[in-house]
Structure 1
Amino acid sequence: MVEKNQWDSPLSFVLAMIGSAVGLGNIWRFSYVLYSNGGGAFFIPYLVAIALMGIPFLILEYGIGFSFRDSFTNIFKKINPKFEILSWILVLLVFGVVIYYVVIISWDLIYLFSSFNFSWGSDPALYFVKSVGGSSNLSNFTSILLPTLAGVLLVWFSVWFISHKDLNSGIGMVSKILIPLLFVIMAFIIIYSVSLPGAGIGIATLLNPDWSSLTDVNIWLAAFSQIVFSLSLGQAIALSYASYLPDNAKLTDNVLVVVVCNCLFEVFTAFGIFSVLGYMSFTSGTPMIQLITEGTGLVFIVFPMIFNIMGPIGRIFAPLLFIAILFAGITSAIGIFEPMVNSTLHKFDWSRKKTVTLLSIIGCILSLVFTTGCGSYLVETVDSFMNAFGIIILIAIQCIVFTWFYDIDSIILVLNENNKFKVGKLWKLIVKYILPIFLIVMWVMGVYKLISSTDPFKLTVYGIITVVVLIFSLILTRINSKA
């Protein structure tokens, strides 16, 4: 029989949800998105995206998970057996995300160890290519980057160690420890950053509003895309975690807590990041435009360059930043891993320990592909596919399945039972009509941009991922469940 898991307190659930939402993207993506999409003007589409998509869809996920108290795949199957294959496609795509997400966390782990003696040297870009992420040269695929290999093994062991335990002694306990620590560390980093010489230059650059950008549809699409990935919408994480809630749990009220915490975290982190970039520009005379980047370029190249010139405080600042990224990454990774775990153990009636162990071994083996000499290029390739092709269309499908093929009015009754924040006709209108249409438009535009601007190698990778996911989704759907 499948073991019944249940959160031991509302705090465990809320912190686990915050942990799954606050991840690498909040730290290294949001500031660049804000800067490059109208600066201060971007907050208008950002807040609209939160109100029209972030909050409504999370509420839907909470309501469905809480009402069914089952795995994501079983929920789809109960609504209509023909829909089970769609649920496995989503779950496998999300499992694909954790496979390369673990690799990025391993890069951070390497830099955490390097930050104690600044072993990245005077050329962090060369250090990243030679020792951590490799390059875009596909001929390097046959070489293995040993530090990254060791990091991947260590991170996967950590994910397994946390996830294989009982819900509260594993995910719940880790969330209670790491999330408060993450917020404390980031608060120190941000407060110190805004006090640095030149910080004002960075913040002014970040927030300089371009009001004319509000007429550009791409700015609005950027805002909605940011909310999708910032809150991990549609990845069945919220649905899975909500399925572990006890009776009389608050749903919509908790959604607001999670959304507010997540958004405040990424906004204030953006202030901290641009304060440090402003400091670098002020002290070195380097124009801000040359320092502003996102993702691995920001965290693993620009920031080590800044730490090199910060003096003694850099020796404190560097480890704290990489520890914060590690905490954010680990709590998100276990959240992204959970839908596959929950669906698999329900499908085969396995114990949690057996399920997590098997999936961790499979995931770790697949992650090794990204430890090669072109690992960072492969991560970028797969990440582009998942973001533009996979997740957005499946969020739209969930909206359609949960609102058109299931009694959404019964969900409204559940959502309003123990909560101060009520939902009604407006919420139903958004999740049933507005969101699916908007998400499908976003998906079409994203896929067109992805296909039209990519090379044959990446298209081949996209094709392989699609075929593999479809084949295994069909196999898992046809296997008779023992449950």
Structure 2
Amino acid sequence: MANENKWGSSLAFILAMIGSAVGLGNIWRYPYVLYSNGGGAFYIPYLVAIFSLAIPFLILEYGVGYNYQSSFTKALIKIKPKFEFYGWVLPVVVFIMAVYYSTIIGWDGIYLFLSFFKGWGANPNTFLNVNLLQSTDSLSGVFNFIPFVAIFMIAGWFIIWFISHKNLDDGLGKVCKVFVPVLFVIMFFIVIFSLTLPGANIGLAELFNPNWSLLWHFDIWMAAFGQIFFSLSLGMGAGFTYASYTGDDIDLISSGLYVVIANSAFENFAALGVFSILGYMSLQSGTPVSQIITQGTTLIFVVYPQVFNVLGTIGLIAGPLFFFTVYVAGITSMLSAFEVLSISIQNKFSLTRRKATLVLCLVGGFASMVYATSAGGYILGIADIFVNNIVIILSVLVECIIFAWIFKAERLIDFLNSRSKTFKLGKWWLIHVKYIIPVILIVIWVGGLYELLSIKTTESVIIIIVLALITIISSLIFTKRPAKTKDWFETEERIK
């Protein structure tokens, strides 16, 4: 039985995919990666990553997803029944990611509320780590529950439920049609305003000052491919799932190009705003940009509040706009991660969309409470390495091999070309998906494994083992439980 969920238009599909790609990683992660990996020189490996990995793989994932018009798991069973266990591993891991992603959304929700009156005070760093999160770098912090943080995280899960429990086009489709354009418009005004700040040129000079010597280092290439992988959510099942909802007239090649272009344009435009603000801070404080910039949550929840404090009354406008932008980016990305496991459960256990959404939101909301403790940030950092640097990359490697070799990617060429209004696929695409991409993924995975092995504390090992057990046991349960629908093993194919 084909998927009953359908996009109302090609635009809804494209905007949903852009919403999946554009997220927190574009706003806080990319500017730091660009700056710390050669500045302007970074664009060479960045563009290589786009053309050798992002575009070819997205087209492959879209094509196979469209063909089976079902969940990722169900499609793998059609390709070969013994792949069902792996077919559950990826959705489970992506759901684990959605659970800790809700933490960042919860934190941002708090700052959205505080931004109307600058409730973080004169010292945002102390407020974040001491007053709000009460952060600890050990598991002992899990016994210190923080209700205020939990409330905002639960609010995020409620929003996810409210959007996802509706029919696809009435819920997710409408949200993406409204909020994705809003996200781009708000960021546009923030960046334009940032460029007018005194000292903006100082930050931009630091950002784009190319360090060509770094091109000979492996790290810059690893960073470029890792960023593309991270920001586009490659292989996390969102592209496959969303493509399965498309109609027969969709141009999947063009859609893939639009998504990659929109994602890259957004993160590079956002980088202009980030470094303009950092340049302004440098001018005001007399501190070099290199000593101000930090990675991750600090950049959002410490640096920006400091800027809004300095901006006075203007900060009361810019602050809410910025944190609302981040919130929208987080919600659209989390929705795509949530959808991957949801549709697989609907397919196998014959649950309605409403029931599957309710169950997953309750489970996810309960599990996320471990991040509403003093150890939340500590556990999140280790969970992020486990998911993104190890499991997802390895899963995508397996996915690429299955789709390119066992499914036979050449089956897609004539079909995709017949609907393409821009570019046509040829032998170059087959070479990429069969040979080049697997080699790239192996290199990235080895690098990620090295980073994981560098974490040698007993507590971090315990967290990784627990996450691995959750992944394996959950996937086994989903695999072994009998299907509640007769057509679980009878997936139709659109492309003959």
Q: Does the TM-score normalized on the shorter chain lie above 0.5? A: yes
Cα pair 2:161 2:357 within 8 Å, conserved: yes
How much has 1:3 moved relative to structure 2? 6.4
Residues in 1 aligned to 2:381 and 2:280: alpha-carbon distance in whole angstroms: 29
The amino acid that maps onto 2:192 is: I
Matched with 1:276 is 277
For residues 287-436 of structure 1, what are the structure 2 equivalents within 5 Å? Answer: 287-420=288-421, 421-436=423-438
Cα pair 2:25 2:231 within 8 Å, conserved: yes
Matched with 2:19 is 19
Residues in 2 aligned to 1:426 and 1:47: alpha-carbon distance in whole angstroms: 17
Residues in 1 aligned to 2:383 and 2:456: alpha-carbon distance in whole angstroms: 12
Cα pair 1:3 1:351 within 8 Å, conserved: no
Matched with 1:62 is 62
Per-residue displacement from partner, 1:382-408 (whole Å, max 9, x unpaired)? 111111111111111111010111121
Matched with 1:106 is 106
Cα pair 1:92 1:473 within 8 Å, conserved: yes
Distance change in 2, residues 1:3/1:51 (3 Å): closer
How much has 1:373 moved relative to structure 2? 1.3
Per-residue displacement from partner, 1:9-46 (whole Å, max 9, x unpaired)? 11111111000000000000000000000000000000
SS of corresponding position for 2:122: coil
Distance change in 2, residues 1:2/1:344 (3 Å): farther
Cα pair 1:2 1:346 within 8 Å, conserved: no
Q: Does 1:236 align with 2:240?
A: no
Cα pair 2:3 2:69 within 8 Å, conserved: no
How much has 1:445 moved relative to structure 2? 2.0
Which of 461, 466, 469 is 1:467 aligned to? 469
Matched with 1:247 is 248
For residues 79-94 of structure 1, what are the structure 2 equivalents within 5 Å? Answer: 79-94=79-94
The amino acid that maps onto 2:469 is: V
Cα pair 2:55 2:256 within 8 Å, conserved: yes
Cα pair 1:131 1:147 within 8 Å, conserved: no
Cα pair 2:3 2:70 within 8 Å, conserved: no
Matched with 2:207 is 206
The amino acid that maps onto 1:76 is: L
The amino acid that maps onto 1:89 is: V
Residues in 2 aligned to 1:453 and 1:156: alpha-carbon distance in whole angstroms: 31
**Structure 1 unmatched runs, 5+:** none
Q: Does 1:480 align with 2:479?
A: no
Residues in 1 aligned to 2:128 and 2:146: alpha-carbon distance in whole angstroms: 10
SS of corresponding position for 1:417: helix
Cα pair 1:6 1:244 within 8 Å, conserved: yes
How much has 1:136 moved relative to structure 2? 2.6
The amino acid that maps onto 2:344 is: S
Per-residue displacement from partner, 1:277-329 (whole Å, max 9, x unpaired)? 00011012122122111210100011111211112211111111100001101
Q: Quote the RMSD (CA, aligned, Å).
A: 1.2
TM-score computed with the length of structure 1 as normaliser? 0.98
SS of corresponding position for 1:166: coil
How much has 1:449 moved relative to structure 2? 2.1
Residues in 1 aligned to 2:123 and 2:383: alpha-carbon distance in whole angstroms: 27
Distance change in 2, residues 1:124/1:432 (3 Å): same
How much has 1:346 moved relative to structure 2? 0.3
Cα pair 1:54 1:259 within 8 Å, conserved: yes
Matched with 2:95 is 95
Matched with 1:441 is 443
Residues in 2 aligned to 1:243 and 1:140: alpha-carbon distance in whole angstroms: 42
Cα pair 2:3 2:245 within 8 Å, conserved: no
Residues in 2 aligned to 1:66 and 1:417: alpha-carbon distance in whole angstroms: 14
SS of corresponding position for 2:419: coil
Cα pair 2:26 2:266 within 8 Å, conserved: yes
How much has 1:132 moved relative to structure 2? 3.6
In terms of mean alpha carbon deviation, does 442-451 or 364-373 score higher? 442-451
Matched with 1:125 is 125
How much has 1:460 moved relative to structure 2? 1.2
The amino acid that maps onto 1:444 is: V
Cα pair 2:115 2:320 within 8 Å, conserved: yes
Distance change in 2, residues 1:316/1:384 (3 Å): same
How much has 1:411 moved relative to structure 2? 1.4
Residues in 2 aligned to 1:306 and 1:146: alpha-carbon distance in whole angstroms: 28
Residues in 2 aligned to 1:454 and 1:81: alpha-carbon distance in whole angstroms: 38
The amino acid that maps onto 2:91 is: V
Matched with 1:48 is 48
Matched with 2:488 is none
Cα pair 2:379 2:463 within 8 Å, conserved: no
Residues in 2 aligned to 1:381 and 1:288: alpha-carbon distance in whole angstroms: 28
Matched with 2:264 is 263
Residues in 2 aligned to 1:23 and 1:186: alpha-carbon distance in whole angstroms: 12
Distance change in 2, residues 1:2/1:148 (3 Å): farther
Residues in 2 aligned to 1:2 and 1:417: alpha-carbon distance in whole angstroms: 22
How much has 1:133 moved relative to structure 2? 3.1
How much has 1:482 moved relative to structure 2? 2.2
How many residues are aligned here? 483
**Structure 2 unmatched runs, 5+:** 486-496
TM-score computed with the length of structure 2 as normaliser? 0.96
Residues in 1 aligned to 2:406 and 2:131: alpha-carbon distance in whole angstroms: 51
Residues in 2 aligned to 1:191 and 1:438: alpha-carbon distance in whole angstroms: 37
SS of corresponding position for 1:4: coil
